[in-house]
A and B are shown apart, each in its own frame.
Chain A
Amino acid sequence: MITKIAWRNLWRNKRRTITSISSIFFAVILAILMRSLQEGSYGQMIDTAARFYMGYAQVHQKGFWEDKSINNLMTDSQETRNKILSDKNIKGAFGRLETYAMAATDTLTKGVMIVGTEPEGEDQLSHLSQKVTKGQYLTSDSKDIIIGEGLANYLGITVNDTLALLGQGYHGASAAELYRIQGVLKHPNPQMNNQVIYMALPTVQYFVTAPNMINAYILDVHDNRKVDQTVSELKGKLDLDNYEVMSWSELSPEMVTLINTDREGGKIMIYILYVVIAFGIFSTILMMTIEREREFGILTAVGMVRRKIYSMLLQEALFIGLIGVVTSILVGFPVLLYMENHPILIEGAKGEAMAKMGMEPILRFTASIDIIWPQALLMALIMIVCTIYPIIHVARIKTVEAIHS
């Protein structure tokens, strides 16, 4: 009956209760949207970074990440690929062999990064073929190369010109060859755009005299939120004496720091919003308590122990919080689901600037229960904290004075 009384007490002053519920509703909706946009933008940032180049995870020979040397390669084995591809979240895996060399024309030289890759797999991850502005994208048996637009401009070369590459091969072998340029691409990363050369994997393996060797498997995933779980599962499948498996967060710890810092900033904004709301709720609950002092006096007079009055007050507060949170979730979650599937397109100069930086010109939202439950928990906590002082107030009520007040 205490619960029944608490529930009915809420509706003694409908307008006040609805106002309180509304403030919670809008605060939680706002918090959910803010967090969803924040997490969506992080997801977008991770996707962009992964799709630029890094992949969502990589498999290397053990120790490669600590010592990124041309001598620290591993054999490209079908068995290892099969083990990687057996994970349900793995969408694709392809081999890469990276090395550095000196690129020379008849008048200019420049240090370049050579990426030997499987053109089809690379294109699936980073849509590299769409970035080719002149000439043709690579095929798996291409003997020719494609180069970054910045590099082409610097060296003053274009499609069908020849470029000399000079570098170090596997285990001290020398690497030198002339290559025809079959395409020029505009890489979204300016640094890469100024120094990258893409080749088919067998071509670069031949260049460095390392047949069937690679330095990484680049992994694409179906669900980027499950990367850590996928990495953990892969660690269980692969021989960790020979391999290391790293997620994007290990490959790019600076991005993790950036995201975490920004995330905490966003949370602080939400906490400030909640503090403002909490004061409103506190004053409502306190008012609901003070105006019923006489009633509480009567209740203790007729034999209701104070503990039950405290319970009643707490339930009233939790009901207000519960209605506010549940309605905000019922309304907010479908909105988040919609926004997740229909991100906001950024048009105009801002959108163009983002596209130039290689970022999708959209505001992405994430609909995840992990965004919602902390808001519900926080609101429950606020309601409990807001009830503490009113309970203390009731504890101090003297029955006889309250009855005659």
Chain B
Amino acid sequence: MIEIKNLVKTYNADTIPVKALDHVDLKIEEGEFTAVVGPSGCGKTTFLNILGGLDTPTDGTILIDGTDLHNRSSADMITYRRDHIGFVFQDYSLMPVLTAEENVEFIMELQGRPKAERAARSKELLAAVGIGDKGKQFPTKLSGGQQQRVAVARALASKPKLILADEPTANLDSKSTSDLLDIMRQLNEKENITFVIATHDQRVMDRAKRVIQFDDGKIIDTKI
């Protein structure tokens, strides 16, 4: 379970302070499929960055299974992210020099897992996201939807309990969006993986179990 307490993030604290997050309190249960929505600049991405340990809060704490997420050194935080959090970015952010399979395997290699295990899991994950036949393709040879599926498979490679996705459908057409959401929902239900998705996309909101609305760095509404 994720417990967010009194989370504050202020930019330019020394000059003209801008509060990106303003005393946010929230609990996210294990296995939730949550959409974080709101207008541009409302704090969605900042919230995701801090939740993923990419950025540090100005104040407040995030407890994941009772442990303070940010009470770690920078190096420890990198390995924590590697082992416990999966990321899906708007522009897929795959390694262009690696094939789809290698992109998925890469995370497992960072974890030091054996080659055979990496290869098997990579194939299994790509099959699970519906592009089992595209493993040997480089990202430039894949469509946007296919690349985003590889990104989801990569996010799943380390067997994380939490996946954070920042506008994952923003560059996808309707069909690809629908397919991607089906895959994510399936994984959420089968594997009990927690998804937190920052989005503007109504189709994502429609498929989410919970929709949290941000404005001016505050949670203004929560719908289940």
Contacts and interface: CB of A to CB of B under 8 A. Distances in A.
B97 A298 contact: no
Interface stretch (A5-13, A50-58, A190-198, A336-344): A5-13
Interface residues of B, number: 27
Interface size class of A (residues with CB under 8 A): 20 to 34
B171 interface: no
A306 B78 CA distance: 9
**B contacts with A: majority SS:** helix
Contacts of A399: 54
Contacts of B83: 303
A400 interface: yes
A380 to B, nearest CB: 24
Given A12-B96, A404-B45, A303 B89 contact: no
B75 interface: yes
Interface in B77-97: 78-79, 81-83, 87, 89, 93, 95-97
A305 B81 contact: no
Given A303-B83, A305-B78, A403 B54 contact: yes
B10 interface: no
Contact of A301 (B87, B98, B102, B158): B87
A302 B87 contact: yes
B49 to A, nearest CB: 5
B55 interface: yes
A50 B78 CA distance: 68
Contacts of A302: 81-82, 87, 107, 110, 154
A3 to B, nearest CB: 11
A243 B136 CA distance: 76
A304 interface: yes
A127 interface: no
- Of B81, B83, B107, most buried by chain A (CB within 10 Å of CB) is B81
Contacts of A330: none
Contacts of A303: 78-79, 81-83, 107, 110-111, 158
Contacts of B105: 1
A117 interface: no
B49 A298 contact: no
A267 to B, nearest CB: 39
A12 B97 CA distance: 8
Nearest to A9: B97
Nearest to A308: B110
B214 interface: no
A126 interface: no
B33 interface: no
A215 interface: no
B106 interface: yes
A399 B55 CA distance: 8
Given A9-B97, A400-B55, 20 more contacts: A1-B98, A1-B102, A4-B98, A5-B98, A12-B96, A294-B93, A295-B93, A295-B95, A300-B78, A302-B107, A303-B78, A303-B82, A303-B158, A305-B75, A306-B75, A308-B110, A400-B49, A400-B54, A403-B54, A404-B45
30 contacts: A1-B102, A1-B105, A4-B98, A4-B102, A5-B95, A5-B97, A8-B98, A9-B97, A12-B96, A294-B93, A295-B93, A299-B95, A301-B54, A301-B81, A301-B87, A302-B82, A303-B78, A303-B81, A303-B82, A303-B107, A303-B110, A303-B111, A305-B110, A306-B78, A308-B110, A399-B54, A400-B49, A400-B54, A403-B54, A403-B89
